[in-house]
Structure 1
Amino acid sequence: MLSSLARFSVRHRWLVIALWLLAVLGAGLAARSSGGEFSNDLTLSDSDSQAAYDTLRERYPDMSGDGMQVVIHNDGDVTSPEVKKAVADSLTEVRGTDGVAAAQSPYGPGPAMVSEDGRTAMATVRFEERAKDVPAESVEAAQEAFAPVRDTGAQVEFGGAVLQTESGPSGSEAIGLAAAVLVLLVAFGSVFAMVVPLVTALFALVLGLSAVHLAAGLTTIGTSGPVVAAMIGLGVGIDYALLVVTRHREAMRAGHAPAESIPLALSTAGRSVLVAGATVIVAILSLYLIGIPFVSALGLASALTVAATLLAAVTLLPALLAVFGDRLDRFRVRRLRFDHGSGRASGWHRWTAHIQRHPWPYLLASTVTLVALALPLFSLRLGTADDGSAPEDTTQRRAYELVTDDFGPGWTGPLVVTADFGGDGSPTEVREQAAGLRTELEKTAGVAEVRPPQLDESGTTALYTVVPEGSPDEESTEELVHRLRDDVLPGAVEDTEGAEAHVGGSTATAIDLADRLGREMGWFMTFVVGLSFLLLTVEFRSLVVPLKAAVMNLLSVGAAYGVVVAVFQWGWGAGLLGAEPGPVESFAPIMLFAVLFGLSMDYEVFLLSRVREEYLRTGDTGGSVRDGIAATARVITAAASVMVVVFGSFQLNDQRVVNLFGFGLAVAIAIDATLVRLVLVPSVMAVLGRAAWWMPRPLQRLLPRLPGEAADKGRQPAGGTAGDTAGGTAGDTAGYERPAGAGTPGGANGTPGGQPPHRAPEDGRVPGKRP
């Protein structure tokens, strides 16, 4: 199937390129006209914070929407008549703004919100809807209404859940591309060969992001969604194209014309790419099983860009390769060297052979290193960073610092407690119960202040503003929320029939999100690992290789988690990345796991397909590992380098969650492509020997075959069940259909394609062929 698709793209190259141009332009125009906006939907069904919100919506409709803090600071006196009049005029204008439910003055009626030194005041604007549904125009209008306050010389800053910044291009994408250009030039040594993966990835990225914008009009996608999607799409787009282009160049060097080598590359490396990409998409979309809309939507955005890269890899990429033809290696920036198949031992051969002679020391050393890097994971604390982690030049950060300094950190994210005392008590009894609960709340450890309760119109429900001693992302605040729910509130309402109490607000919602994801993480990871195991079992017709891959992937992901915890939670070197220490974003580990397990499948399939290809041809377990690593190490290193620089460039983004995600991906890919693929894999394969390819014969017959898998053929390694079929790997067709005199797939000299063991020219040219 892939070969046929590649031949179509080669024959109709200009038509394919034109269709891609039309698709990109059409999708871009559609996204501009019909695309939605990005906002964070932290709705959690069956959670205590959602129950509190439902109570607010039913009993306090004016309080059910999300709010915006308006922080007014004056080095003189914020209670001066001039400032107070300007604030009053602004609040009057705000109350008439569409979408605003209420606006509370810092001067009363009710408890005043003026600092003890009289220099800072805090007003609250309450919107009719939750943050995800509040129009940006309503927020902007409410902010502009406070211009008269600024005219008095006072400083006005804004904070709160409604201030969600949409993530557009930050310059990090351009820097990542520039770094990728340098890596590809070093890897390929040719300008044209470097251009093809970049153009393919850019076309796919534009199409994928347009699809993300269109999807945002149908479902709520978080503000970090487009940046995370761009990060993953750009990285895997270049990565997948690089793998295919490398295999295409190998086939041309073996004597094939471009019209032959392109289908061969798609049927081998292209199949590896499809398996890896499909695993990424399925793993990411599996986030929907968790039932958290915010996390699922982020996964959808990433899956759309990965799908676009796969489509480009099997259609646009062959067409571009056909356009360049045998001129792909023109405009060289350095002389090319091809060690694999040249009849001499490469550095990768020598390295792998060295590890195979001493497998146990390298196996133990690499395992201990990975476990040591993973140790910080045991102190992982999930949460959502507050505005104290926002960029310093934002109004949210300035508002946070003013409130923290003059009112206390708890006021940056107060808790909302609702208590329904039932309908049987008299108004006097309800007021007494409400006052008693306030006293209990004030005595609770971790509570800094409790505002007087507000009773609803029916007089049966009380609403409290509970101010923690710590900031929203501190562990003490999380402990306070659990203490209120588990100990304080049940004791306060348990003697009243029909009574119930809940803890809500944005801070409690973030804690509920972290708790839910923490509970779901175990089974989700089990699902992804199981899915990867099944796919690799079908792909490699082995039980041991998939098990080995699962264990090694868990070790590498765990090591990446540990480094993320050390930097972003403990603060080790966080300043170098411009990040603030705090909890690890609650959805980051589960998203990272879904993406990384799929990406590691990419290298696993690409490497072990070549190893199995050599093993089925020669039956030599040690030699097949050496040849497989020698054939793939350079391209895997180049592909990983591209991903690392692309993901690392997103450290320049001003969103902490994007910094964390990019850093985690870069570290994980670096660990996987170096310590795992180049040390752990050869040492484990040396220890396993033929056992790596063991598969019970009954299960061998029951396993399905993936589309495009070759029929049984070829040489069966002596004594092994793994060789019962020569099909089932991405490399089964790698024994090229040779031109006359080019040799057979199983040449006697043991080199790919049966080439004679002559020393290849230094520039990699085949004698008699044009460069």
Structure 2
Amino acid sequence: MATVLYRLGRASFRHRAIVLAIWLLALVGLGVGAYALSGKTVNSFSIPGQESTTALDLIDERFGAGSSGATARVVMLAPEGTKVTDPDRAARVAQLVEKLKSLPGVTDASNPLDPAAPTVSQDQRAAFSTVTYAVQPPDITPEERDALLAAASADGLTVEVTGEASQESGADIGGPAEAIGVVVALLVLAVTYGSLVAAGMNLLTALAGVAIGALGITTLTGFVDLQSTTPILAIMLGLAVGIDYTLFIVTRYRHELLRGRPREEAAAMAVGTAGSAVVTAGLTVVIALAGLAIAGIPFLAEMGMAAAATIVVAVLVAVTLVPSVLAFIGTRALPRRMRKDPTAFTEEDTQRKIYRRWAGVVTHWRWASLLVAVVALAVVAIPVLDMRTSLIQPTPEGSTQARAEEIISANFGPGFAGPLLILVDGADAAGRAATVADQARGLADVAVVSPPRPNADDTAALVTVIPKSGPDSEETVNLVHALRDTFEDADGVYVTGQTAVSVDVAQTLDRALPRYLVLVVGLALVLLVLVFRSILVPVTGVLGFLLTIGAALGATTAVFQWGWLTAVVNAETTGPLLSLAPIIVIGILFGLAMDYQVFLVSRMHEAHAHGASPRDAVVTGFRQAAPVVLAAATIMFAVFAGFVPDGNATIKPIAFALAVGILFDAVVVRMIAVPAALSLLGRAAWWLPSWLRWLPVLDVEGAALERPAPTSLAKPEPVGSHRG
């Protein structure tokens, strides 16, 4: 692999104009495609073949297209001591209902005072009208949503609106906090390189890769229904790894210049060595993201594949576009004082001595260092034991949706916020539905069961079940299971509704998560064994990742579920995490954690291969790789954290988990736990059983490329021999 990438880097350097033209053409072409072919994203979570999804499809067939379309609830509350049924207020309710029926996109608005189907609280102070649209939530236009919110008013009544039709379904991209994250990344690059030219080049090439990936995804929305969070997830991840991958290659290029290699040879060597690590690291991220398909949830698989494609673009940019740009900037990638005569300086002149001292302390006090790191992360991970997940997310505090839900919960009961639907399909549906309704009334945690509502030809009927508990409560989840167990032997009886869809998705994810971990971790272990030709180094990396993911999800649970430090992250709501969040965070963090493992340990392996003792190899490799890994982690943290303060409510907890996960993994696991553990293992860390020595050598360190440079090459130094 190193030889192939070396040739690719040299070709990109020599034919820089052609390479730049190809990437520019791709950018322009995809930009035109995104403008001309893009479609809408969706914000509905359902799984084909699940009972809840099958029932929703049948409802559309039996009751007419759009019968399971988006809905909103317009809640009316009379002043204290009065009733909505008072003659003057009843007239205003009727006027409001007629106004709602005439809104654009609305197919029906129920009258809460209809004697046949009233929706009035027991004390007659509150009522609500259900407004139904012909389309799904993502297809409701901003104008239709604004018209609904503007119409929700009546003299003498407090009127609030809630429901999926009242909420924006898209994910916002490009807020000021995200721009600050990019600025922080630029500052970190400038400090790391000591060169604004190199820092600017690094950021621009990463942005080019992200733009190509994002435009490709936008073009794809014209052909595939992608989740609204897919583009922002791909941009967030692509920007972070794009900057980091370029950082690793440019850093190696600077190292080769200082060793006396000509610019072309330095660029080729950088791609052959650091580029090999980039490809390996990128492959682990792609495996982790593509592995999301094992969950059996189409929209999750599409999110994973789209993000994986963005990573592939970032890797290709790093190994082709970066060396071609290096051909233009030449020695300006170095600090100004080193440009005239790079050979007069060494790699240590670009590094701070603190890294060698840090490695010396960690490897000397290895037991204490390892114990402190493990205990610290274990303590942060404690809240994960209380983590709850749901597709039903709380509404922002102070919004009209939150006020409406408070009125419903206080006057009707918390279960009215998440009604369940029972579909009875087949002949004599109304008669069978009446029996079903009677059986449902006998179950625990059932507050209200509505009379059956048959379709025109009595081939289907709907029964609404209102739980006593809220839609995200364990009692309501148990009620969904109880209803399905009760009607398990009844033909054509289905339990559906938003709460039931959430339960189905959560169950599918729970079953898929162990398979996902086994597949992704297993494949990554195999890849790392090939890279390092060692058993214990990959195992150490995976165990470190388990500490990282536990601490990341623990911190996220404490903030977004328990409500700790919500002001710091601008969290508008607290409650269960999104059902998809854990598996997405695990997939992304695993790939990124293995990135750091590859970049850090490959330099240690390289030093060991050149004859350094086990401890000296750890110190030397740490000194060379730690500054870059730490800079890369700082950049990733800044990019992910930029999506937290003003981010979309769906992406905010995921971005927070990724940001703190990167912080824990880079600073605690890779800077403390891994060097301490490898020092404890000694030569055993690089041991490979004899029966596995037939495995191919991937040579990510580029040993096959090593040639005598024009100046003598520095050998790994023993721990105690550093200057100063």
Q: Please, what TM-score do these two structures have when normalized by structure 2? A: 0.89
Matched, 1:168 2:172: yes
SS in 1 for 2:642: helix
Alignment of 1:404-415 (within 5 A): 404-415=409-420
Specify the alignment match of 2:563 in structure 1: 571
Greater displacement, 249-258 / 638-647 = 249-258
Q: How far does the alpha carbon of each residue in 1:486-531 deviate from its partner, in whole angstroms, 9 at most, with x for none?
A: 3x445xxx5xxx5343221111101211111011100101111001
In the alignment, what sits opposite 2:24? 21
Contact between 2:12 and 2:323, CA under 8 Å: does it hold in 1?
yes
Q: Which residue is equivalent to 1:442?
A: 441
| CA-CA distance at 1:400 after TM superposition | 3.6
SS in structure 1 of the partner of residue 102 of structure 2: helix
1:299 to 296, 300, 304: 304
1:26 is displaced (CA, Å) by: 2.3
After TM superposition, the structure 1 = structure 2 runs for residues 457-536 of structure 1, keeping only pairs within 5 Å, are 457-459=456-458, 461-486=460-485, 488-490=486-488, 494=489, 499-536=491-528
Residue range with higher mean Cα deviation, 199-208 or 498-507: 498-507
Quick one: which of 701, 705, 712 aligns to 1:743?
A: 712
Q: How many residues align?
A: 706
Higher mean alpha-carbon deviation, 370-379 vs 216-225, is at: 370-379
Change (3 A) 1:331 1:28: farther
CA 1:758–1:323 in 2, change beyond 3 Å: closer, same or farther? farther
Show CA shifts across 1:519-553 (max 9, x none): 11001011110011011111111222222222222
Contact 2:284 2:524 in 1 (8 A): yes
SS at match of 2:225: coil
1:20 positional shift: 2.4
AA partner of residue 304 (structure 1): A
Residues 230-379 of structure 1: pairs in structure 2 closer than 5 A: 230-329=235-334, 341=348, 346-379=353-386
> Counterpart in 1 of 2:225?
220
- Which structure 2 residues correspond to residues 544-583 of structure 1 after superposition, within 5 A? 544-579=536-571, 580-583=573-576
Q: What amino acid is aligned across from residue 647 of structure 1 in structure 2?
A: F
Give yes or no for the alignment of 1:56 onto 2:48. no
Query: Which segment drifts farther, 191-200 or 544-553?
Result: 544-553
Cα 1:151–1:103 change in 2 (3 A) is closer
Cα separation, 2, equivalents of 1:86 and 1:303: 53
Following TM superposition, by how much is the alpha carbon of 1:164 offset from its aligned partner in structure 2, in angstroms?
4.5
Q: CA deviation at 1:146?
A: 7.6
- Within the alignment, does 1:190 sit opposite 2:195 as a pair? yes
| Counterpart contact for 1:621–1:689, Cα < 8 Å | yes
Q: Which runs of 5+ in 2 are unaligned?
A: none
Tell me which of 643, 652, 657 is aligned to 1:659: 652
- Which deviates the most, 499-508 or 141-150? 141-150
| Partner AA of 2:256 in structure 1 | A
- SS of aligned partner of 1:418: strand
User: What code does the residue aligned with 2:463 have?
Assistant: Y
Instruction: From the superposition, tell whether residues 241 and 282 of structure 1 become closer, same or farther in structure 2 (CA, over 3 Å).
Output: same
Which moved further from structure 2: 68-77 or 14-23? 68-77
- The one-letter code of the counterpart of 1:326 is T
Alpha-carbon shift at residue 71 of structure 1 (Å): 1.2
What is the distance in 1 between the residues matched to 2:285 and 2:598? 13
Q: Percent identity?
A: 35
Residue 267 of structure 1: CA displacement? 0.9
Question: How many angstroms does 1:115 deviate by?
Answer: 4.6
- Give the deviation of 1:229 after TM superposition: 1.5
Q: Is the 8 A contact 1:340 1:346 kept in 2?
A: no
Q: Distance in 2 between matches of 1:61 and 1:344?
A: 69
From the superposition, tell whether residues 217 and 119 of structure 1 become closer, same or farther in structure 2 (CA, over 3 Å).
Answer: farther
- In the TM superposition, residue 70 of structure 1 has moved relative to its aligned partner by 3.8
Q: Unaligned stretches of 5+ in structure 1? A: 707-727, 761-771
Deviation at 1:661, TM superposition (A): 0.7
Find the aligned partners of 1:564 and 1:696 in 2 and give their Cα distance: 40
Alpha-carbon spacing, 1:178–1:489, altered in 2? closer, same or farther (3 Å): same
> What's the CA shift string for 1:288-337, capped at 9, x where partnerless?
2222122112212322322221121112211222211112235689xx99
What's 1:730 paired with? 701
Question: Larger deviation: 79-88 or 561-570?
Answer: 79-88
Match of 2:593 in 1: 600
Q: Provide the secondary structure at the position in 1 that maps to 2:643.
A: helix
- Correspondence 1:32-71 to 2 at 5 A: 32-61=35-64, 64-71=67-74
Instruction: Note the aligned Cα RMSD (angstroms).
Output: 3.2
In 1, distance between residues paired with 2:246 and 2:125? 59
Report the CA distance shift for 1:250/1:110 in structure 2 as closer, same or farther (over 3 A).
farther
| Amino acid in structure 2 at the alignment position of 1:37 | K
Specify the code of the residue in structure 1 equivalent to 2:210. L
1:767 aligned residue = none
Residue by residue over 1:674-719, the C-alpha shift from the partner in whole angstroms, topping out at 9 and shown as x without a partner, is 1111211111111211111111233212x2344xxxxxxxxxxxxx
* 1-structure distance, mates of 2:663, 2:555: 12
**What's the CA shift string for 1:556-600, capped at 9, x where partnerless?**
222212222222222222343222221121111111111111111
Offset at residue 88 of structure 1 (A): 4.3
Provide the secondary structure at the position in 2 that maps to 1:43. Answer: coil
Deviations 1:421-460 (A, max 9, x none): x64x7x8xx64x6445434433433223222221344546
CA distance in 2, matches of 1:18, 1:650: 32
Q: Select which of 104, 119, 132 maps to 1:113.
A: 119
What amino acid is aligned across from residue 90 of structure 1 in structure 2?
K
**Alpha-carbon shift at residue 413 of structure 1 (Å):** 2.2
Deviations 1:41-75 (A, max 9, x none): 42223322124324423433367423311415466
Cα separation, partners in 2 of 1:345 and 1:509, compared to 1, 3 Å? closer
Query: Is the 2:78–2:156 Cα contact (8 Å) retained in structure 1?
Result: no
Cα distance in structure 2, aligned partners of 1:411 and 1:643: 42
Change (3 A) 1:3 1:67: same
2:43 match: secondary structure:
coil
Question: Following TM superposition, by how much is the alpha carbon of 1:144 offset from its aligned partner in structure 2, in angstroms?
Answer: 2.9
Stretch moving more, 278-287 or 509-518: 278-287
In terms of mean alpha carbon deviation, does 674-683 or 368-377 score higher? 368-377
1:380 to 359, 373, 387: 387
SS at match of 1:111: coil
Structure 1 residue 249: Cα displacement: 1.3
Q: C-alpha separation between the residues in 1 aligned to 2:99 and 2:639?
A: 46
Local SS of the residue matching 1:618: coil
Structure 1 Cα separation of the partners of residues 409 and 346 of structure 2? 62
How many angstroms apart in 1 are the aligned matches of 2:303 and 2:231? 8
Residues 94-113 of structure 1: pairs in structure 2 closer than 5 A: 94=103, 102-108=108-114, 110-113=116-119
Equivalent AA in structure 2 for residue 240 of structure 1: Y
CA contact (8 A) 1:40 1:220 kept: no
Any idea what SS the aligned residue of 2:466 has?
Answer: strand
Equivalent pair of 1:340/1:630 in contact (CA under 8 Å): no
The DSSP-based 3-state class of the residue aligned with 2:233 is helix
Contact 1:71-1:123 within 8 A present in 2 as well: yes
TM-score, normalised relative to structure 1: 0.84
- Superposed displacement of residue 35, structure 1: 1.0
Relative distance call for 1:332 and 1:45 in structure 2 (3 A) is farther
Change (3 A) 1:332 1:153: farther
Query: Given that residues 112 and 129 in structure 2 are in contact (C-alpha distance below 8 angstroms), is that contact kept between their aligned partners in structure 1?
Result: yes
Structure 2 CA distance for aligned equivalents of residues 273 and 575 of structure 1: 37
Q: 1:279 is matched by which residue type in structure 2?
A: T
Letter in 1 for 2:709: R
Matched letter for residue 732 of structure 1: A
Measure how far apart 1:641 and its partner are: 0.6
User: Aligned residue for 1:180?
Assistant: 185
**Separation in structure 2 between the aligned mates of residue 733 and residue 198 of structure 1, nearest angstrom:** 31
The match for 2:602 among 596, 599, 609 is: 609
